[in-house]
Chain A
Amino acid sequence: MSFPSGKTVRPLRKQGAAVPAPKHGVSTPKTFIFMCMLPWTAGFFLFTAYPMIASFYQSFTYWDMINPPKWLGIDNYQRMFFHDDLFWKAFYNTMWISATSIPIRIAFAMFSAYLLTKAGKTRNIYRTIYFLPSMVPVVAGTLIFAWLFQPYFGVLNLFLEKLGLISMKNPPMWFDNPGLSKWSLIIMGLWGIGDTMIIFLAGLLDIDKSLYEAASLEGANGFQQFRYVTLPLMTPVIFFSAVTGVIGSFQYFTQAYIATGLTINGDYTKSMYFYATHIYETAFQQYDMGYAAALSWFLLFVTMIATVLMLVTQKRWVHYPNGTMFK
């Protein structure tokens, strides 16, 4: 092998030659790699795999955390489907928030990102401003929104009253109204879409401008350019946001739990009672760890089904520039 300079480079090892034996006391690369992986692997088995296996076993038992688990067979799963009204309430609420909030969040994030693409030189400033709310701790953000949504002196209702849309004699009760409470949570969630918006912004900026020029030459108007250029090319981002959104919404807990605690009527209709809340209350208020484990396994099962369904159906609507997400 030679370079234009004329220098010859000696190959590291002749083809087929035996690997020289390691010097005494020096680890082989394989051992070194194994040692590097060991902390993570040990952590995975100790803190993820083992608890998962243990919780699967516990899901067939009654376990109060103090006494040894008592074997119940499939009783916990039967109780879930046939004897626990709160399970269905929590499941319905979770499905509702998932089905409603994810499309709205995606649309809102995409629209915000689109506006940012038009911002020109000030884009970075606006991007930072839009992203900032995502950095606010969830608890603090929820407390702030509880004040904004406060029926009698909250900014939102005062603003709506100024516009003549509501009367303060009978104001919308937001978190205190079972019909509005979940919508209030969704509105609150839109405030923190900064992370999703950043991904959409990257996706939008990645679209080749020549495609728009070509579409324009073909006579496509703004909407048609969006429909036939932007949207198809953004489907991988939409797909990613949908999958992570579904997984996240199935675990929806903190905001609803805090908002419930701030209501005047304690949300007695359980309109903000989600699946994760049910798991939490079963585990840490009833101390019924076995049933909580069964609930958790069912959640994992539903999450997997939803994810697999999306992965399967993506072939029909997600357009990867290189053909597939795996290339």
Chain B
Amino acid sequence: MKKKSLLAGLFAAALLASGLVSANVAQAANREIVVWMPQGPTRAHYKLINAAAQRIEKKHPGLTVTVVGGKDMEVSLAAINAGNGPDISMANGAGNVGWFCGTGAWVNLNKYINGANGVDMKKTFTPAAISGTKSKGVTCAMPFSSEVFGFYYNKDLFKDAGIKRAPETLSELKSASQKLTVIRNGNIIKAGYVPWATYMDNDMTAQFLAAQFGAEFFNSKNKSAFVTDPAWEKAFKWQRNFIADVYGGGNFEKGSNRLQAFMAQAGAWWSSDNDFNTGRIAMLNHADWLGTLFCNPDWNAYDCNTPDVNFKAAPMPVADAIHDTDYGRGVVGSNAMGISKGTDNMRDAWTVLKELTTELKVSRDWANTFGAVPSLNALRQPDAGVTRPAWMLPFYRITSHPKSGYHRLLNAGEHLEVDYLVELFNAWQANDLQGIGVSNLKAGLKQAADKVNALPGMR
């Protein structure tokens, strides 16, 4: 009997032990965190993140971090929806954060940021970088590096025209443009500044105008502010007056026609044939990374000793009335990273996300490889080991301005608040508001606002 009891006891203990072992094995097996990023495995971006993942594994024994390249956000979202998405995904831009937060595709990180293993966001990241990580008070992303939009100008053309510094106000911008523009036989040969939506293959014009006029995309009631914020109407009217005065001798129609003919002959934007490289235009607003193309055809930020075009960067000129408070600001986005809804290991996912976005080495390597502006405050000191190309320093300064950042983000689909405004802009600059079924600018702004407010995520 005793023998039987002993055997039974041993058997039970063995069962319990094996159960514990297998539970531990299962837990260890579940400690894999998968990170998806847009750039493929052959790209330097992937190699840097993968190296960081290996460092995280060493720092946290038992944790496996697998980085998968070539997965853009559309693929990532489809996978999250199907329930087999990555634990962490990286977006190559901040624009969709409103949607990711609003739908819960990326989980609310507030609890983890403020928890025991949290992050002091204000101390760690620049305010500009933080602005593109939350929606309606919910932080669902962490910033990684920054994409900064500022103002470029051609130093040689400025010198020829007798202009000594970059314009800081919109009046100065117009005055400089008038001096720099060359019109012969009714054709624009050289243009100073071209405030035209769709020019340059980007839809950022609306966001540039918002920064330049201090306009808000959404009001305090989380509805479109196109009608309630008078800055939008001012911005639109400024654009027409600018075109009329600079290109049409006071006549908008004439200026618009000339400008359209000029733009139709633009060089390919993503090559060194673009209008800024060739000197067809003297000034433009664009991202920090486009400056690398002005430096050389290889897009190398550090090879700018003999640039293709003798350029300099500065903050965007702003409306005269807000110069003292707003000059120096710019639009700033980041490669936001978030944790997918449905991850089965939230604790480890947070650990990895925190490490990836706050580790100095990976952000420093990223900045030194691509010339990108880091989002970490610690890397902004001169002795932080980040090599800053001289031409990029104004972009660093832009991220320090308290009003720099991404506009407030809500669940407006694929940032359609920008698209709808650009649609109105297109009709407005073509002097054809009837084409979109409205009779005046106010009605056009209301139509755009109604479209934004009618979006499913905004209702």
A127 to B432, CA, bound (A): 46
A269–B264 contact, CB under 8 A? Answer: no
Asked if A152 contacts B264 (CB within 8 A), the reply is yes
User: Is B423 positioned at the interface, with any CB of A under 8 Å from its CB?
Assistant: yes
With A150-B264, A266-B423, A285-B413 known as contacts, the answer to whether A67 contacts B103 (CB < 8 A) is yes
Contact of B48 with A by CB under 8 A: no
A240 interface hit (Cβ, 8 Å)? no
Q: A66-B77, A66-B341, A153-B265 are in contact. Are A287 and B99 (CB under 8 A)?
A: yes
Count residues of chain A with CB under 8 A from any CB of chain B.
25
Which of these binds chain A: B18-26, B348-356, B414-422?
B414-422
- B435 & A268 in contact (Cβ 8 Å cutoff): yes
* A286 and B104 within 8 A (CB): no
Question: Residue A65 at the B interface, CB < 8 A?
Answer: yes
B423 pairs with A268, CB closer than 8 A: yes
- Residues in B neighbouring A176, C-beta threshold 8 A: 260
Q: What is the minimal beta-carbon distance from A84 to any residue of chain B, in angstroms? A: 9
Taking the closest CB of chain B, its distance from the CB of A60, in whole angstroms, is 15
Question: Quick check: A64 and B197 within 8 Å, CB to CB?
Answer: no
Q: What's the Cα separation between A66 and B99 when bound, in Å?
A: 10
Structural contact, A66 and B105, CB atoms closer than 8 A: yes
Instruction: Name B96's closest neighbour in chain A (CB-CB).
Output: A287
Q: Please tell me if the beta carbons of B456 and A66 are within 8 angstroms of each other in the complex.
A: no
Q: 1/0 per position for B108-141, CB-CB distance to A under 8 A?
A: 0000000000000000000000000000000000
* Cβ B432 vs Cβ A64 within 8 A: no
> A178: CB under 8 A from chain B?
yes
- A70 CB to closest chain B CB, in angstroms? 10
A contact residues around B78 at 8 Å (CB): 65
Q: Within 8 Å of chain A (Cβ to Cβ): is B439? A: no
By a CB distance below 8 angstroms, the chain A residues around B423 are 266, 268
Q: What residue of chain B has the Cβ atom nearest to residue A154's Cβ?
A: B264
Cβ of B263 and Cβ of A64 under 8 Å apart? no
Which residues of the other chain, A, contact B81 by a CB distance below 8 angstroms? 65-66
Asked if B385 is an interface residue, CB under 8 A from chain A, the answer is: no
Tell me which of B74, B77, B197, B456 contacts A286 (CB under 8 A). B456
User: Does B430 sit within 8 A of A, measured CB to CB?
Assistant: yes
- Contact bitstring A175-211, B, C-beta under 8 A = 1, else 0: 0101000000000000000000000000000000000
Instruction: Tell me the minimal C-beta distance from B191 to chain A in angstroms.
Output: 14
Contact between B263 and A264, CB atoms less than 8 A apart: yes
Nearest Cβ distance between residue B79 and chain A, in whole angstroms? 11
Alpha-carbon distance A266/B265, docked complex (angstroms): 16
CB interface residues, B 402-432, toward A, < 8 Å: 413-414, 416, 419, 422-424, 426-427, 429-430, 432
- Write the B204-241 contact mask toward A (1 if CB under 8 angstroms, else 0): 00000000000000000000000000000000000000
Q: Judge whether A285 and B457 touch: CB under 8 Å.
A: no
Shortest Cβ distance from B427 into A: residue:
A268
B10 at interface, CB cutoff 8 A: no
- Any chain A CB within 8 A of the CB of B80? yes
What is the CA–CA distance of A62 and B411 in the complex, to the nearest angstrom?
A: 15
Contact of A287 among B103, B264, B427 (CB under 8 A): B103
**Per-position 1/0 for A130-168, Cβ under 8 A of B:** 000000000000000000001111000000000000000
Min CB distance, A268 to chain B, in Å? 4
Q: Which residue of B lies closest to A62 (CB)?
A: B456
Chain A, Cβ-Cβ closest to B340? A66
Which A residue's beta carbon lies closest to that of B198? Answer: A266
Q: Looking across the interface, which residue of chain A has its beta carbon closest to that of B413?
A: A286
CA distance A64 to B81 in the complex (A): 9
Taken together as a complex, chains A and B put the C-alpha atoms of A21 and B286 apart, in Å, by: 79
Q: Which residue from chain B places its CB closest to the CB of A151 in the assembled complex?
A: B264
CB contacts (< 8 Å) of B74 on chain A: these are: 284
Tell me if B14 counts as interface (CB < 8 A to partner A).
Answer: no
Min CB gap A160→B, angstroms: 16
Q: Does B161 contact A (CB under 8 A)?
A: no
Are B430's CB and A153's CB within 8 A?
Answer: no
Docked CA distance A178–B422 (Å): 18
Establish whether residues B419 and A268, one from each chain, have CB atoms under 8 Å apart when the complex forms.
no
Nearest residue, chain A, Cβ from B447:
A85
Q: Does A244 lie at the interface of the complex (its beta carbon under 8 Å from any beta carbon of B)?
A: no
Cβ-defined contact, A65 with B416, below 8 A: no
Neighbour of B456 across the interface among A64, A85, A266, A268, CB < 8 A: A64
Within 8 A of A (CB), among B85-110: 99, 103-105
Q: Which residue of A lies closest to B451 (CB)?
A: A86
A310 CB to nearest chain B CB (Å): 34
Interface residues of B in 421-459 (CB under 8 A from A): 422-424, 426-427, 429-430, 432, 435-437, 455-457
B13 interfacial by beta-carbon distance below 8 Å: no
User: Is the pair A265, B456 in contact by a Cβ cutoff of 8 Å?
Assistant: no
Given A62-B456, A268-B432, A287-B413, 17 extra CB contacts under 8 A = A65-B81, A65-B103, A65-B105, A85-B437, A150-B264, A151-B264, A265-B198, A265-B260, A265-B429, A266-B198, A268-B423, A268-B426, A268-B427, A269-B427, A269-B436, A286-B416, A288-B413
Q: List 25 A-B contacts (CB under 8 A).
A: A62-B456, A64-B103, A64-B456, A65-B77, A65-B78, A65-B103, A66-B341, A85-B437, A176-B260, A265-B427, A266-B197, A268-B427, A268-B432, A268-B435, A268-B436, A269-B436, A284-B414, A285-B413, A285-B414, A286-B414, A286-B455, A287-B99, A287-B414, A288-B455, A288-B456
Interface of B toward A, CB cutoff 8 Å: 74, 77-78, 80-81, 99, 103-105, 197-198, 260-261, 263-265, 341, 413-414, 416, 419, 422-424, 426-427, 429-430, 432, 435-437, 455-457
Top-4 shortest CB links A-B: A268-B426, A66-B103, A286-B413, A266-B426
